[in-house]
Structure 1
């Protein structure tokens, strides 16, 4: 389940408020823990549960992936205070650490100081966001938020008072959710919704390009998409639920044989999850088909010398085939090679970064469609 962390940086505005945010690669939290000799201990104490954020409990759940997703620089307040946040299409709230937090995770990250912002306003509600390995608690507030050169007035966000221990090993300070308001904790209006409502973007959509093989150039574009990032036509897939970016998946095939999602299933396009995640039996079958061995933590390892001979895996979405080669679904590190197929213990599939790196993704909120095209 290895995954590289990708850093959003160098925020550049496009014409007519189309905003491009580039990303660069960095070292994963997992690699950091492995180098410190703490990974085995962490895995035993915090079993991987990628489905935690998709369990609807009335509070917004977030990813428990130790190889947390994609993050970039935003600023909050007047004058602005800068923070790195994960851009997560699998959640809907924005939150950051605060000076009122004494958790170890907060000590390792930048902390927002409300007293230093002239535009800060306290909200009236507490905030609790559940992770698979713990939670963050805090308070709601509002202030000016700047993302990629766009300034959003009166954006409601969370400031933490406590944070889960595993956040101490993460590179990002907080999370910026890009899913729908219907799943936002306390029904907070998400950042991108406010961009649209305040007429700050030229088009009511955003797009994500994730580079591969440690290359730079990954980016999020708010207000449009870039045709230089993909080849061929964009396939537009209707959402089955405007909560997460959820669509219908017809099947998963290898060498023409259906190996998972037989008869159809539901899938999430999620930048906040590193792997492709599915039901335990389906993922086990897929890993078996590609020749992987699964350890006690559900991590499927392969011989690094076998990658060239391993089969493609095809995901059929809305009648359109999207193929992922072994070079994309196998990750290599100093610790060996593993597949990017993770067990989720639920019927809900997550098409995370392993998939998105292969397919440029365009998120059209008002029309409730996702556009996918082969990345270049």
Structure 2
């Protein structure tokens, strides 16, 4: 006779992703499903997808701070990740305080445009949240034109969703972007500097009540052992990345983030420093560049003190004992008036000083960075 025996058995259980989690990973939502699938729409009452509360009043959008990771490419470019539309289309972008408009390459660019072909391209036909605009977009960069047309869609940045953001789809990407790691640009300068009157994305963050304060801040590290470059903090400043209190300067021209600089000094030795920008000059913070640029005559003299040798395009190399050590962080520019005395402070400066941009009070704050 066969007698059955019983023993304990353990069956592992796994937690499956919820419908909301699965759809969030591909940039869509339950609202989208009900919108495009009519048979399912009768079950929409099971989900809280309304924009109003029980009394019919609009639900308040929670204010918050958020942080966007920045990455570096060859120590010459700093970029972060965004997604556009539903389902999400992902892009690497430069967060540029010297530019107001935002743009990404378009799927409508020609296959002959190699810089476009080598980058991620936005296809508005694949986005459920796309809204047509179609206004022609042309920007003369001096050495080439950036051409395309305007479109409107939702942009996801960290945990924030900016609804109905207008940006440019670029159909002709200049050759210089062939060497860029980033696909496009998210402009963070003042709205008065915007082409075609497009509202910059940070203005929309504030308008849509997505941040606690109309402030954003940049932290850039100097760690050469990692591709992590720092972060962009939205809604305030992150005190764990700076030491002491902020020193603030007022914005003097609401286009770039521009302010008055009283002087530039190169310390030759403990007792001697050489002054530049002697009677004061204009300066901007430019997060799209790694260098510090200034008027050609001033920068030429400055690099001479550093025993740097001129190269092309305003760059200089520093050698010692017959060995080439590095490129100078100071770059010469030759701009027309009224910007002929302008200095632009990029990552070489921000890497030393945590920088806060206060849109509400029109001021810029600086504090010594923790490294």
Q: If the TM-score is normalised by the length of the shorter chain, which range does it land in?
A: 0.7 to 0.9
Q: Does 1:262 align with 2:278?
A: yes
- 2:88 pairs, out of 80, 83, 91, with 80
Distance 1:206 1:83 in 2: 21
Residue 331 of structure 2 is aligned with which of 342, 346, 356? 342
Tell me by how many angstroms 1:371 deviates: 0.5
Deviations 1:27-47 (A, max 9, x none): 36xxxxxxxxxxxxxxxxxxx
For residues 148-187 of structure 1, what are the structure 2 equivalents within 5 Å?
Answer: 148-187=158-197
1:291 match: 307
Alignment partners' CA distance in 1, 2:184 and 2:311: 31
Provide, for residues 231-251 of structure 1, a one-character-per-residue CA deviation record: whole Å limited to 9, x for no partner: 121101111111100000111
Instruction: Tell me what 1:331 maps to.
Output: none
CA pair 289-146 structure 1, distance change in 2 beyond 3 A: same
Aligned mate of 2:241, from 220, 223, 229: 229
Matches within 5 A, 1:271-286: 271-286=287-302
CA contact (8 A) 2:71 2:78 kept: no
Which runs of structure 2 are paired with 1:57-68 in the superposition (5 Å)? 67=76
Asked which structure has the greater CA Rg, the reply is 2
- Counterpart in the other structure of 1:248: 260
State the partner residue of 2:364: 370
**Structure 2 unmatched ranges of 5 or more:** 1-61, 335-339
Is contact 2:72–2:229 with CA below 8 Å preserved after alignment?
Answer: no
CA distance in 2, matches of 1:143, 1:343: 39
CA contact (8 A) 2:91 2:184 kept: yes
1:367–1:275 distance in 2 versus 1, CA, 3 Å = same
The residue that corresponds to 1:123 in the other structure is 133
Q: What is the RMSD computed on CA atoms of the aligned residues?
A: 1.9
Q: Do residues 25 (structure 1) and 25 (structure 2) align?
A: no
The equivalent residue for 1:4 is none
Shift of 1:24: 3.2
Aligned length: 296
CA offset digits 1:311-344 (Å, max 9, x no partner): xxxxxxxxxxxxxxxxxxxxxxx97412100001
Matched residue, 1:70 = 78
Distance in 2 separating the partners of 1:186 and 1:89: 18
The answer to whether the 8 A contact 2:314-2:333 is kept is no
When normalised by structure 2's length, the TM-score is: 0.76
- Residue 101 of structure 1: SS of its match in structure 2? coil
Change (3 A) 1:304 1:119: farther
The separation in 2 between residues aligned to 1:292 and 1:236, in whole angstroms, is 33
Residues 305 and 91 (structure 1), Cα distance of their counterparts in 2 relative to 1, 3 Å cut? farther
Structure 1: give runs of 5+ residues left out of the alignment. Answer: 1-14, 29-66, 307-333
Query: 1:259 touches 1:282 (CA, 8 Å); kept in 2?
Result: no
The Cα of 1:160 is off from its aligned counterpart by 0.9
